[in-house]
Amino acid sequence: MLPSFNSRPQGGRTAPCDERAVFTAVVYVLTSGCAWRHLPETFGVSPATAHRRFTAWTRAGLWRRLHRAVLDELGARGELDWASAIVDAALRAKKGGTLTGPNPVDRGKKGSKLHVLSEAQGIPLAVAVSGANTHDSLGLKPLIRGIPAVRSRRGPRRRRPVKLRADKAYFSPEHLTWLRERGLVPRIARPGIESSERLGRHRWKIERSIAWLFGFRRLTVRYERKGPRFLAFLGLAAALTCYKKLAKLAT
């Protein structure tokens, strides 16, 4: 199920260790939230080696490929509901450098914002990170473009849902036009006109998805100074969330 772990740092040299043990150590850091230096010796991998390999795999785009591989398997089994996509964002505390900005709900302290797009049942299809002061609506187009072409049970790969559901923060005439030009039916609450309760019938699914992601403790407080590494952990969390759905089908 997992893709090949042959991605190597630039220069072609790696420490002699079991790459699956390194992967398990990375997952442990993600789920437990522990610092790299506190990685238990039971994994048989030094913290420096685990961190170095994590960085190399991040540069090679492994987490994005892993996420797509699991989505492909779910799509081939007909477990992805393309009737609609749901988008939302959430703020996180910061201890990093890039992809941060003043947090409007925490006295101006810097923070990061996580953007998530799921299919109709809440399985995450695309994720992104921005500064906390970035408006939610600015993440809409990148998330739509970031939906991978996923295998289907029948026919060609698919990457376009029928509808797009979002709250009032994403409403604008520009977004409505942009979505319709791409064949998407916008279902975005209109400020001052529509109640959020109608969208709430569907929005709880994306809120549940975000809760699943924040179940990985490394995402609850951002420790990575470099934005791409924090995004890498978010991508791995999305892949593991999808894999849990796949594992349930096998039992």
Beta carbons of 143 and 226 less than 8 angstroms apart: no
Chunk the chain into consecutive blocks of 10 residues (it has 251) and report each block's average pLDDT, rounded to whole numbers.
44 59 96 94 93 96 96 96 95 70 69 93 95 91 96 91 94 96 93 65 87 93 87 96 90 67
Identity (one letter) of the amino acid at 180? Answer: R
* H/E segment holding residue 193: none
Q: What is the pLDDT of residue 132?
A: 86
What structural domains and CATH numbers belong to the chain? 81-226 (3.30.420)
Rounded CA gap, 28 and 34, in Å?
8
Rounded CA gap, 37 and 27, in Å?
15
The answer for residues whose C-beta is within 8 angstroms of residue 147's C-beta and 6 or more apart is 85, 117, 125, 126, 159, 160, 161
Q: How far is CA 242 from CA 110, 162, 169, 230, in A?
A: 30, 21, 27, 19
Q: What is the pLDDT of residue 3?
A: 44
Rounded CA gap, 236 and 198, in Å?
32
pTM score? 0.87
Q: What is the pLDDT of residue 13?
A: 45
Q: What is the pLDDT of residue 249?
A: 81
Q: What is the pLDDT of residue 108?
A: 65
Q: What is the pLDDT of residue 91?
A: 86
Q: What is the pLDDT of residue 198?
A: 59
pLDDT (tens digit per residue) in 217-228:
999 888 888 889
| Residues facing 163 on adjacent strands | 84, 185
Tokens of 56: 């190399």
Q: How far is CA 184 from CA 38, 160, 214, in A?
A: 47, 8, 29
